[in-house]
């Protein structure tokens, strides 16, 4: 920065010197009007020899004329040269009179390589100007052949004008130099952004032509499914609205580009064959988006959508069932749009009919149920009730288990050997069951107690078996 500032200072100083020199050359006029007046010492100009000696004015005048004559004869008359002006430069010429300049710029070379303007004023020493009598004496002292002297006041005015012009030029140069240095110290301004292109029909004028700040999802690949035809048109239209600059042509949106963009995503099954067939036609059959939508709906969108929607709303097929309330509400809104229902009472009634009975009952039995004609409020209350039930189920399913008691330390036990079962002698087969006594059977029959008969038979059998196993037992 310092080197650059030095260079700027040098250039500005050279420009100032050149401007000052040009002004001086203009002030000098033709070079042939050089002064022929002799240079006299200052004390002689103010006090000629005749006045020093105290003679009369006639003697002084005659003495001056004699002195001039003698000097001319001896050839001692020399031209007037200013000690501050260059040798090859003539003295300043003011009108028809030639005299010394009170202000002469001199170009000097400094030690640091900078060009400086040195202004030397002859009146800077503080000396006062001569009186009218001194000017008269000086005029009478000069040779008769020299041009008449101009009015000293007019010369001063002219010098002041020249001095003012030089000071104005120097002030302008200093201002330019200051501005250059300030510009070098300040950072360069940021480049202006590129202007936005003109907006097309249906597009706001503030559309940004620079790189988009958002990147919407492109349309999905359409295969000709009639149930997805409207969704495909919607996805293409949303992409077009979010990025209109993609389809600009000569500053406006080209609808033909939008149509060809949509055809490029019809690349499967029946949609692919239809797209190829339409693209190869000459001229292109869809110069506008409206023509394309009309033909597309005729081919890939179901007809009589209103009839289908009305028929579905008359059945239980649109009921909520196991779905969540959000999916149910979305489908119900689509059916309302297709069916063309506008009565809010009908909307609320059919919505409550298909809603989950628990949600419907919770809303109806609340302290402040919504109006039967406010469908928007019913949707909001259904969403809130469903979210509350989901939160309650989540809290029930993830309840914290009760704290467990610390485990009780058990004393170590000796290992227990498995017990060996004692050998059991083989038991003889049981004796056959004795038949009941006929008289007891008859007696039991008379009582009708067949159960007692069976019990008696079992008792006799067990006794016979025990007697065979234990010989020491005896029956009495």
- Backbone φ and ψ for 198, nearest 5 degrees, come out as -65, 140
**Same domain membership, residue 351 and residue 284:** no
Domain-located, residue 261:
yes
Domain-located, residue 459:
yes
* Per-residue pLDDT band at 180 (split at 50, 70, 90): confident
Per-residue pLDDT at 314: 92
**Same domain membership, residue 235 and residue 158:** no
**Same domain membership, residue 122 and residue 20:** yes
Q: Write out pLDDT tens, residues 33-86.
A: 444 444 444 444 444 444 444 555 555 555 555 554 555 555 444 444 444 444
Residues in Cβ contact with 81 at an 8 Å cutoff, skipping those fewer than 6 apart: 39, 87, 91
Residues in Cβ contact with 448 at an 8 Å cutoff, skipping those fewer than 6 apart: none
**Same domain membership, residue 28 and residue 105:** yes
**Same domain membership, residue 130 and residue 6:** yes
Residue 103 and residue 166 in contact, taking contact as beta carbons nearer than 8 Å = yes
Domain-located, residue 404:
no
* Residue 181 in this model has a pLDDT that exceeds 70: yes
Residues in Cβ contact with 470 at an 8 Å cutoff, skipping those fewer than 6 apart: none
Domain-located, residue 63:
no
Return mean pLDDT, the chain: 69
Write down which residue in 282, 300, 318 finishes a domain. 300
**Same domain membership, residue 370 and residue 270:** no
Residue 304 to residues 40, 144, 330, 338: CA-CA distances in angstroms?
124, 127, 20, 9
Whole-number Å distance between alpha carbons of 46 and 409: 138
**Same domain membership, residue 128 and residue 23:** yes
Instruction: Provide the domain count of the chain.
Output: 4
Domain-located, residue 68:
no
**What's the mean pLDDT in 278-288?**
91
Question: Among the residues of 340-430, which ranges form H helices?
Answer: 344-354, 357-364, 375-397
Per-residue pLDDT at 396: 77
Among 18-32, 94-108, 277-291, 434-448, which range has the highest average pLDDT? 277-291
Q: Write out pLDDT tens, residues 245-271.
A: 889 988 899 999 999 999 999 999 999
Domain-located, residue 365:
yes
Residues in Cβ contact with 77 at an 8 Å cutoff, skipping those fewer than 6 apart: 38, 71
**Same domain membership, residue 159 and residue 18:** yes
**What's the mean pLDDT in 450-474?**
62
Residues in Cβ contact with 403 at an 8 Å cutoff, skipping those fewer than 6 apart: none
* Per-residue pLDDT band at 336 (split at 50, 70, 90): very high
Domain range for 267 is 226-300
Write down which residue in 359, 374, 394 finishes a domain. 394
Domain-located, residue 67:
no
Q: Write out pLDDT tens, residues 297-308.
A: 999 988 888 888
* Per-residue pLDDT band at 8 (split at 50, 70, 90): low
Write down which residue in 153, 170, 185 finishes a domain. 185
**Same domain membership, residue 90 and residue 176:** yes
Q: Write out pLDDT tens, residues 356-412.
A: 999 999 999 988 999 999 999 999 999 999 999 999 888 876 544 455 545 555 555
Q: Write out pLDDT tens, residues 124-136.
A: 444 444 444 444 4
Lowest-confidence region among 200-209, 311-320, 418-427, 444-453 = 200-209
**Per DSSP, what are the bridge partners of residue 121?**
103
**Same domain membership, residue 150 and residue 9:** yes
**Same domain membership, residue 363 and residue 459:** no
Domain-located, residue 411:
no
Q: Write out pLDDT tens, residues 168-178.
A: 888 888 888 78
**Same domain membership, residue 148 and residue 85:** yes
Of 294, 266, 263, 265, residue with least CA distance to 281 = 263
Residues in the chain: 476
Residue 354 and residue 320 in contact, taking contact as beta carbons nearer than 8 Å = yes
Burial class (CB in 10 A: 0-12, 13-18, 19+), 30: exposed
- Backbone φ and ψ for 330, nearest 5 degrees, come out as -60, -45
């Amino acid at each position: 920065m310092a080197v650059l500032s030095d260079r700027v200072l040098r250039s500005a100083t050279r420009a100032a010197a050149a401007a000052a020199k040009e002004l001086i050359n203009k002030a000098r006029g033709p070079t042939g009007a050089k002064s022929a007046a002799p240079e006299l010492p200052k004390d002689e100009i103010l006090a000629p020899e005749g006045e020093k000696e105290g003679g009369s004015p006639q003697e002084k005048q005659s003495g001056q004329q004699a002195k001039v004559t003698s000097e001319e004869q001896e050839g001692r008359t020399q031209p007037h040269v200013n000690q501050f002006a260059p040798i090859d430069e003539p003295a300043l010429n003011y009108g028809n009179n030639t005299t010394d300049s009170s202000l002469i710029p001199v170009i000097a070379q400094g030690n640091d390589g900078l060009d400086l303007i040195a202004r030397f004023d002859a009146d800077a020493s503080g000396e006062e100007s001569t009186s009218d009598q001194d000017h008269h004496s000086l005029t009478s002292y000069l040779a008769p052949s020299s041009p008449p002297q101009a009015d000293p006041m007019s010369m001063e005015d002219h010098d002041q004008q020249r001095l003012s012009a030089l000071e104005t030029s120097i002030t302008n140069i200093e201002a330019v130099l200051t501005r250059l240095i300030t510009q070098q110290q300040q950072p360069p301004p940021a480049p202006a952004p590129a202007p936005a292109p003109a907006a097309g029909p249906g597009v706001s004028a503030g559309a940004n032509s620079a790189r988009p700040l958002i990147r919407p999802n492109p349309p999905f690949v359409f295969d000709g499914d009639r149930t997805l035809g409207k969704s495909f048109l919607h996805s293409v239209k949303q992409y077009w609205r979010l990025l209109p600059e993609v389809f600009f042509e000569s500053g406006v949106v080209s609808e033909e580009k939008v149509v060809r963009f949509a055809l490029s995503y019809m690349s499967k099954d029946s949609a692919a064959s239809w797209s190829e067939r339409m693209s190869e036609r000459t001229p292109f059959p869809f110069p506008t988006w409206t023509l394309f939508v009309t033909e597309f709906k005729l081919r890939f969108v179901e007809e009589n959508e209103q009839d289908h929607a009305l028929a579905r709303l008359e059945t239980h097929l649109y009921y909520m069932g196991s779905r969540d309330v959000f999916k149910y509400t979305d489908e119900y809104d689509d059916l309302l749009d297709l069916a063309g229902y506008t009565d809010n009472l009908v909307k609320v009634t059919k919505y409550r009919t298909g809603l989950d009975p628990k949600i419907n009952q919770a809303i109806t039995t609340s302290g402040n149920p919504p109006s039967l004609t406010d469908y928007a409020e019913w949707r909001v209350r259904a969403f809130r009730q469903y979210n509350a039930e989901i939160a309650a189920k989540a809290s029930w399913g993830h309840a914290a288990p009760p704290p467990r008691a610390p485990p009780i330390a058990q004393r170590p036990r000796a290992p227990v050997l498995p017990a060996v079962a004692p050998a059991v002698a083989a038991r003889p087969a049981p004796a056959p069951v004795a038949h009941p006594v006929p008289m007891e059977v008859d007696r039991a029959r008379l009582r009708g107690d067949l159960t007692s008969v069976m019990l008696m038979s079992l008792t006799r059998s067990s006794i016979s078996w025990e007697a065979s196993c234990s010989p020491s037992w005896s029956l009495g």
